[in-house]
Structure 1
Amino acid sequence: MKLHLSLVSLSIITALFPLQTFADDAGFEVIEVNGQHQGSYSAVTPEAAKPKTDISGLLNNLPGASVNGNGPLTGIAQYRGLYGDRVNTQVNGMTLSSAGPNAMDTPLSYASLILTERLEMTRGIAPVSAGTNTLGGSVQVIESQASFDEVSGKVAAQYQDNGQRSHIGAKGNFANEQHAVLVYADMLNGNENVTTGGDQTISPTTYDKNMFGGQYRYHLGDNSSNDSISIGYQHLETTDAGTPALPMDIDFIKTDRVKLEGNHDLNDWEVNWHLAYSDARHGMDNFNERMKMPTMNARYNNAESQSYDAAFTFAKNSWLFGFDSQLSEHNSVISDPTKPMFKVDNFNAVIDNTYSAFAQWQQEIGQWQWELGARVKHYQTDADEVYHSMSSSMPAIKVLMDRYNNADRSQQQTGLDLVINGRYSQTEQLSWIVGLARKQDSASYQQRYLWVPMQSTGGLADGRTYVGQMDLDLETAYQIELGSEFQTDSFSLNPRIFFQRIDDYIQGVAATDPAVIMAAQMMGDDNPMQFANVDAQLYGMDVTASYQLNSNWFMDMNASYIKGERRDIDDNLYRISPPKVNIGINYQLNSWAARLETLAVSAQNEVSESQLEQTSAGYALINISVSYDADNWLVKAGVDNLFDTEYEDHLAAYNRVMGGDLTPGQRMPGTGLNTWVTGEYRF
């Protein structure tokens, strides 16, 4: 229950175990206090983890969280079995749309490695203040902000041997009492394809990504005032990046983002606001990074999006209020470079707007800490007519095109979220946690407006073709969580169990429309899918624990189990993270730290038959690392997958590339032995 936009609020970071014992992959608990509002979050810092090509990789360190990986730069957040748009994902407090209809430029791909201070996740039921759509939880990337009266900076670099991957980044803060300037830049390169434990090449997994930006902040009022206003800018450019689990690879992504924000204290009210704009352009194809078989048609997709994000929050004592909106327009056109007359409107002027308001109250009553919140949100969607150059020669496509163009494509829906979170402090060491919620979420624009069978599904990566449904109902989830926190000077244990029943859950079902089936068969798919409302439920448990053996040694554990299933038929939900446990043994002596960890992942046999999902086998990996952290510099080195184990990553989907070491349609294998080194200098 915090004001994410506040730059003048007090942040108090505490851990389940002493701060000086943080090592490599250990996540930690954050207690944030903003005005009179506080909440508990799980978090991990880039410095505390092994090297990542994309900030989404840090999610694997947090309880209940995972990553649907469609490529080295294309990680989609998953929390307790829900993923994609259901997980509220913000970078620097902004919710801005991606350009790619297949989520190649995921929200987390816009986070700067050098600028990120931590990746933060609301554990359990997210409060209404966390964001508009939090049915699947809330993930925040907390980035450095321009700070007054400070001159500081950092230069960081990393290198990974498997794939010849490198990162160089730098940031600097230059300020006096009135003006503050923050500048930063990242350069990321993957020069070779990565290899598996079985010495197979995963192709294509190369990439080239650059990002730079800055922020200027002006101090309003006198020195005792916390008022300020700022403007920030970011430019991102990615080229020649592989996404082997998708039908195309990234040719380019060019995105410019601007954010204007303010923080004010007005008559004991803490007021925060921002206005943000994003202009994203994206090109993708099936022939530059991968082999195109002679029987395949060349395809190029030009996509673009413009989006706006606005938020206004104000807090006083136990109350927090807010208004926000997200407005976006999406366009996507598919062409064939060898056939100039070929053109398909994948999405044409799709409008996806949301307006919402919330109120949240928090109060201590005896030994209880209560949080109650409500959010009302209004969804507006629309789209222009579409065109397919082959409609004149393919009757099925002509039927689908005319049906779509003649339909009333404008949709409006209103949703309501209600949340109650409670914490009972039985003793100084033991607390009990309870949460209840009713949450709603709207369909993605792909689920509504994908009019002809295609794989532009927001990153499902199941190899199936889909069509949308304009009048999909809101998903409605009823959530409950129970848990406890036990902590002594040397031991901590934090288990949570959860259950949610989701009415009108949106997923693909077998298409029955003859025109859809005929159009899909023309493109080589005999089993197309259509997005529809079904009934589902998810339940499971995640737990963290730590034990301080002595002043130098401690152990930590992070484990989770998730079960997702349909309620209307006997089937499981698609792409659910398998049960897993990560156990680490850590050693710390002065500036030296070392970690030995075991990641054990169970087989996933409870898969979606409706989506022809394949099972995956269990595996165990050993990772080691050592670091030296001086006053102003840090060096760390390690080896992941020490024994070069061959394994399948269930959330990495399936290989879509022909002509390589991997068979098309087989489960994507994981990365083999990977040695790495990182370093940073701080001033």
Structure 2
Amino acid sequence: MKLNLSEYSLLSALPVAALSTLFHCNAQADEIIEVINISGSVATPIMLVSPKDISPTVDIAQAVKALPGAAVNANGPLTGMVQYRGLSGDRVNSKIDGASLASAGPNAMDTPLSYPSISMTERVELYRGIAPVSSGIDTLGGSVNVIQTQVQFEQHSAELAGQYQTNGARTAISGKANLANDSHGILVFADDMHGNDNSETGNGNEISPTTYDKQVFGGQYRFNLADNTRQNESIGINYLHSETTDAGTPALPMDIDFIRTDRVKFDGIHTLNDWEINWHLAYSDARHGMDNFSERNLMPSMGARYNNADSTSYDAHFSISNEQWQWGVDSQLSEHDSVITNPENPMFLVDNFSGVSDDKYSAFVQWQQAFNAWHWELGARVKYYQSDAEQVSHSMAMIMPAVNLLMQRFNNADRAQSETGIDAVINGRYQVSPELSWIMGFAHKQSPASYQQRYLWVPMQSTGGLADGRTYVGDVSLALETAYQFELGADYHADKLTISPRVFYHQIDDYIQGIPSTDPAVIMAAAMMGDSNPMQFANVDAALMGIDINANYQLNDEFSFDMLANYISGERKDIDDNLYRIAPPKILLGINYQHNGWRARMEAVGFSAQNNVSSTQLEQTTSGYGLFNASVGYDADTWGLQAGVDNLFDTEYEDHLAGYNRVMGGDLMPGERMPGVGLQAWVTGEYRF
């Protein structure tokens, strides 16, 4: 990751002033070669990671590793899940061009950021600190938004790009073309990505399965409503088709047979006097097949399993804003089904999830204003949640009394749930001097249980990507998580030095996580499936605290140094234990060279041992390690070429956020920590015309 500061200034932007800090970034390992911007309101800056300088990745989520406080839970090469300050999964609001659409997989094989096209992704936005209420319905764990290329009126252009990675023989070819006059515009794109071999560790062990095939294509049409192309007023329609086949997820009990998804979005932006109106209506239809025998060895003691899952979802948004005020309404509606079968036994059938509906309706108001040296941003959001599920069945219920009891109990329960949540946020910035600003934030935020946490009725591992190897059951009556969030920090910018530290504390009442089940029926049903210690989702009390820092020193016009550091601690407050899957402490130091079109970078990344693990979830500790990466590139007006080596010394290490190996018969032992990728050389190229 390359954090090479080139500018730091307060910019004028509509509807509010913007704080903008620009870094040129060249990522480590499997991260993107990015450009990082920090923009947004002065009170709540947005950090931006842009992959315009292409480097090897097929998982856009990997880009957030370049940002302070952020990490990625990766269950396979395509399944990156954003973690921000210790929170991940549904707690992090993840959007594509402002729309949040449901995934099909009950185990998060198609994570939210697995859908964007590489060629179309302009940047990934992350609110640093406490996300404002305007950034999404549920933002307890922050807010991430992937911004894709939009039609440019009065422009004819095209872009072709390719990349190759030696470790895993990974290839990607992508392209896009923009054809537009002053009124109508069309944008088309396509990506073709392949992981042809399994990746290898520093010791030469195969990480199996980590092969994949993925294609993404689509297009956009926009109609200009303004009198000229300098005004931002238009309506448009976007279409995206994503198809993944034969992809490994070694930290999960199954691999991807296929994921086929179609997404359509209508949107518009309009001006009315001093007000700006934004709206969109988005729809997704996702189909997903997964199994435990196509990509991995099926042991004789194991039964073949195939899971067919699908989801449909809608996302609607309408907001109106001026320089001080923003008002808006949002809704997200989704339906989920998941059925497990045995291809060798046509009589076997289990309703994993049946007719699950998960609906959210919300309204918000946000206000911001400057008073002398102070800039305040205040917001409130009210949210109404509705969820329900149809009755379930299990083909083995008649011969397994415990399963039959759980099925009858679930079918006779009041599965329809409704709750009301309230978010309130105060963010402030105090300008001490032209060089120094103090940052502070307070929030009350609430978030509901996921549909897996609520409606998983028989012990299984369909947990939204926890990847801990445990079986779980849900609880229909789970309460809302309630977080009290606090942040304090500073932004200092001198002639050559920029440094931005933040400290934070989050107290979360009714935090949802697994605890050992004491239900005899659950324990008996799990034992029949080979698990003697099943878990049940429950409300507990938790706290997260930590510090993240990013800094840059510009030595001269060509050379700069940068630093990024994260520390996060997550604890249970009701018992003496730690939270599960918290990113270990990290520090990155880099030196950058840039002159005319040439650029080069060397960096060292150190991760501390993670010994503060969840004993409740039998989480294993991991040791500390260090990685070294180097790259060099040249960018001309119409083309660019870059090459590099990640993990230069072929270090063997365990990635604490990558889960545990679930594959038998390979180089890795079942249940051991997933290792990281060894030495990887790569090259990327781009041609623009």
TM-score (norm 1): 0.96
| Counterparts of 1:555 and 1:42, CA distance in 2 | 19
Q: In the alignment, what sits opposite 1:611?
A: 617
User: How far apart are 1:82 and its partner, in Å?
Assistant: 0.2
Alignment counterpart, residue 144 of structure 2, candidates 139, 142, 146: 139
Q: Secondary structure at the match of 1:57?
A: helix
Deviation at 1:268, TM superposition (A): 2.3
Is the contact between residue 232 and residue 269 of structure 2 (CA under 8 Å) also seen in structure 1? yes
Partner of 2:69: 64
Question: Conserved in 2, the CA contact under 8 Å of 1:371 and 1:420?
Answer: yes
Instruction: Report the number of matched residues.
Output: 671
Report the counterpart of residue 126 of structure 2 in structure 1. 121
Q: Distance in 1 between matches of 2:501 and 2:545?
A: 14
Question: Quick one: distance in 2 between partners of 1:9 and 1:681?
Answer: 33
Q: Which runs of 5+ in 1 are unaligned?
A: 1-7
- 2:36 maps to which residue? 28
Whether 1:214 aligns to 2:219 is yes
* Separation in 2, partners of 1:112, 1:555: 32
- Partners of 2:386 and 2:252 lie apart in 1 by 29
Preserved contact between residue 29 and residue 40 of structure 1 (Cα < 8 Å): no
- Please point out which of 435, 441, 446 is paired with 2:441: 435
Distance 2:54 2:453 in 1: 35
What is the DSSP-based 3-state SS (H/G/I as helix, E as strand, rest coil) of the residue aligned with 1:208? Answer: strand
Name the CA shift for 1:15/1:550 in 2 (closer, same or farther; >3 Å).
farther
Structure 1 residue 633: Cα displacement: 1.2
What is residue 530 of structure 1 aligned with on the other side?
536
Match of 1:385 among 391, 402, 410: 391
Distance 1:575 1:426 in 2: 38
CA distance in structure 2 between the partners assigned to 1:71 and 1:176 by the alignment = 42
CA distance in 1, matches of 2:160, 2:146: 20
Aligned twin of 1:4: none
Give the partner amino acid of 2:36: F
Counterpart selection for 1:315 from 321, 336, 347: 321
Deviations 1:427-454, CA, capped at 9 Å, x for gaps = 1110000000000000000000000000
Segment drifting more, 137-146 vs 382-391: 137-146
Q: Any idea what SS the aligned residue of 1:648 has?
A: coil
Task: Give the aligned partner of residue 93 of structure 2.
Answer: 88
* Separation (CA, whole Å) in 2 of partners of 1:295 and 1:349: 32
Mapping of 1:260-659 within 5 angstroms? 260-659=266-665
- Over residues 383-416 of structure 1, what are the superposed CA-to-partner deviations in whole Å (9 max), with x where a residue is unaligned? 0000000000000000000000001100000000
Partner of 1:79: 84
Q: Which deviates the most, 642-651 or 625-634?
A: 625-634
Change (3 A) 1:146 1:67: same
Q: Distance in 1 between matches of 2:658 and 2:220?
A: 36
- Using the TM superposition, give the Cα deviation of residue 267 of structure 1 relative to its aligned residue in structure 2, in angstroms: 2.9
The residue number in structure 1 matching 2:10 is none
CA contact (8 A) 1:31 1:38 kept: no
Q: Corresponding residue for 2:234?
A: 228
Q: Distance in 1 between matches of 2:579 and 2:549?
A: 22
Per-residue CA distance 1:591-632 (angstroms, 9 max, x = gap): 110000111000000000000000000000000000101112
In structure 1, what is the Cα distance between the partners aligned to 2:34 and 2:496? 16
Which 5+ residue runs of structure 2 have no aligned equivalent? Answer: 1-12, 28-32
Q: Give the letter for the 2:552 counterpart.
A: S
Residue type matched to 2:457 in 1? Answer: W
Deviation for aligned residue 1:12: 9.2
1:183 pairs with one of 178, 185, 188: 188
1:40 aligned partner: 45
1:446–1:457 contact (8 Å) kept in structure 2 = yes
Residue number among 205, 210, 214 corresponding to 2:210 in the alignment: 205
1:153 CA displacement: 2.2
CA distance in 2, matches of 1:448, 1:283: 22
* Structure 1 residue 16 displacement after superposition: 3.7
8 Å contact 1:12–1:31 — kept in the other structure?
Answer: no
Cα distance per residue 1:291-311 (max 9 Å; x no partner): 000110000000000000000
* Deviation (angstroms), 1:52: 1.2
Aligned to 1:662: 668
What corresponds to 1:5 in structure 2? none
Aligned pair in 2 of structure 1 residues 370, 13: CA closer, same or farther (>3 Å)?
Answer: closer
Range moving further from structure 2, 569-578 or 223-232: 223-232
Aligned match for 2:174, one of 157, 166, 169: 169
Output the CA distance in 1 between the equivalents of 2:16 and 2:634: 27
Q: Classify the secondary structure of the residue corresponding to 2:152.
A: coil
**1:276–1:9: structure 2 CA closer, same or farther, 3 Å change rule?**
farther
Instruction: State the shift of 1:44 in Å.
Output: 1.5
State the shift of 1:78 in Å.
Answer: 0.2
SS where residue 47 of structure 1 aligns?
A: coil
What do the CA deviations read for 1:93-146 (whole angstroms, capped 9, x no partner)? 110000000000000001111101111110000000010010000111111111
The Cα offsets for residues 347-395 of structure 1, whole Å up to 9 and x where unpaired, read as 0000000000000000001101100000000000000000000000000
Instruction: Provide the rounded CA distance (Å) in 1 between the counterparts of 2:244 and 2:217.
Output: 12
Aligned partners of 2:140 and 2:483 also within 8 Å: yes
Which of the numbers 256, 264, 276 marks the counterpart of 2:262? 256
SS at match of 1:512: coil
CA distance in 1, matches of 2:17, 2:507: 35
Q: Residue type of the partner of 2:470?
A: R
Alignment partners' CA distance in 1, 2:315 and 2:557? 48
Of 100, 109, 133, the residue aligned with 1:104 is 109
* 1:205-228: CA deviation from partner (whole Å, max 9, x where unpaired): 000000001100011253376431
Aligned partners of 2:106 and 2:338 also within 8 Å: yes
Residue 53 of structure 1, aligned match among 48, 52, 58 = 58
2:154 is aligned with 1:149:
yes
Pairwise CA distance, 1:421: 0.2
Where 1:378 maps in the other structure, the secondary structure is strand
The question of whether the paired residues in 1 share the 8 Å contact of 2:72 and 2:83 is answered with yes
Post-superposition shift, 1:9?
6.2
Q: 2:116 is matched by which residue type in structure 1?
A: A
Task: Please list the CA deviations of residues 167-194 of structure 1 after superposition, one character each: whole Å capped at 9, or x if unmatched.
Answer: 1110111101110111100111000000
Once the two structures are superposed, residues 651-677 of structure 1 have per-residue CA deviations (whole angstroms, 9 ceiling, x without a partner) of 001000000000000000000000000
Q: Distance in 2 between the 1:76 and 1:159 partners?
A: 23
Give the AA of the match of 1:160. Q
